[in-house]
Amino acid sequence: MYFTKFNTRFCEIILAGDEKGLAHLHLNTGEGSRQFEIQESWEFKPEFFEDAQAQILEYLGGKRETFDIPLNPAGTTFQKKVWEQLRTIPYNSLASYGEIARKLGNPKASRAVGAANGKNPIPLIIPCHRVVGANGSLTGFAHGLAIKEKLIALEQGLAC
């Protein structure tokens, strides 16, 4: 597994992955519940992530709406189905946990969708920040609500 780190106007970002695709994107905000550790066996290899880093910086600069990066997130079958559904939420759009559950064919699974959202190892690219509560409230985000709010504002073209 390779990794790199780089700074953005929002926070430091850590990427980890291999030839199969990006496995982790960590938003190092110092907030939220997500803990992330770089494993000793991983190799620091920034050049491996040049394209991914460029696309992420374009997105955070308001110049990119979609990503073309091979992904390889580890998760359960259900989590992967949720993450696939999240990737269908268009830029500058929001969906509720219940809407995602309904699209997966299980309208009572909104809490399970929320749990899968919280385990998403590749935020931004798998846009879990676009999922909100049924009443439109900004509910949980593993990296803190402040950055979730900034990402939504970015996509809405608001100053952030």
pLDDT, one tens digit per residue, over 17-49 is 999 999 999 999 988 777 889 999 999 999 999
Q: Select the more confidently predicted residue: 32 or 103.
A: 103
Confidence of residue 81 (pLDDT cuts 50, 70, 90): very high
Has residue 120 been placed in a domain? yes
Residues 92 and 145 in one domain: yes
Q: Is 160 annotated in the active site?
A: no
- Residue 69 is assigned to a structural domain of this protein: no
Q: What is the mean pLDDT of the chain?
A: 92
Considering the domain architecture, whether residues 89 and 116 belong to the same structural domain is answered as yes
Q: Which of 10, 26, 60 is the last residue of a domain?
A: 60
Are 15 and 55 within one domain? yes
How high is the pLDDT of residue 135?
77
Q: Where residue 89 falls among pLDDT bands split at 50, 70, 90?
A: very high
Q: Do residues 95 and 148 both lie within one domain? A: yes
Domain that holds residue 119: 77-155
For 9, which DSSP code? Answer: S
pLDDT at 112: 93
Closest CA to 142 of 110, 113, 117, 112: 117
Active-site residue identified among 14, 23, 25, 128: 128
Residues 148 and 88 in one domain: yes
Q: What is the DSSP string of 10-56?
A: S-EEEEEEETTEEEEEEEE-S-SS------TT-EE-GGGGHHHHHHH
Tell me the HSE value of 64 on the side-chain side, using a 13 A CA sphere. Answer: 16
Query: What does the alpha-carbon distance between residue 152 and residue 46 come to, in Å, rounded to a whole number?
Result: 28
11 — pLDDT class (breaks 50, 70, 90): very high
- Model confidence at 144, in pLDDT bands (50, 70, 90)? confident
Token code pair at residue 112: 């399970």
Domain shared by 87 and 48, yes or no: no
Domain count, the chain: 2
Please check the confidence at residue 157 and state whether its pLDDT lies above 90.
no
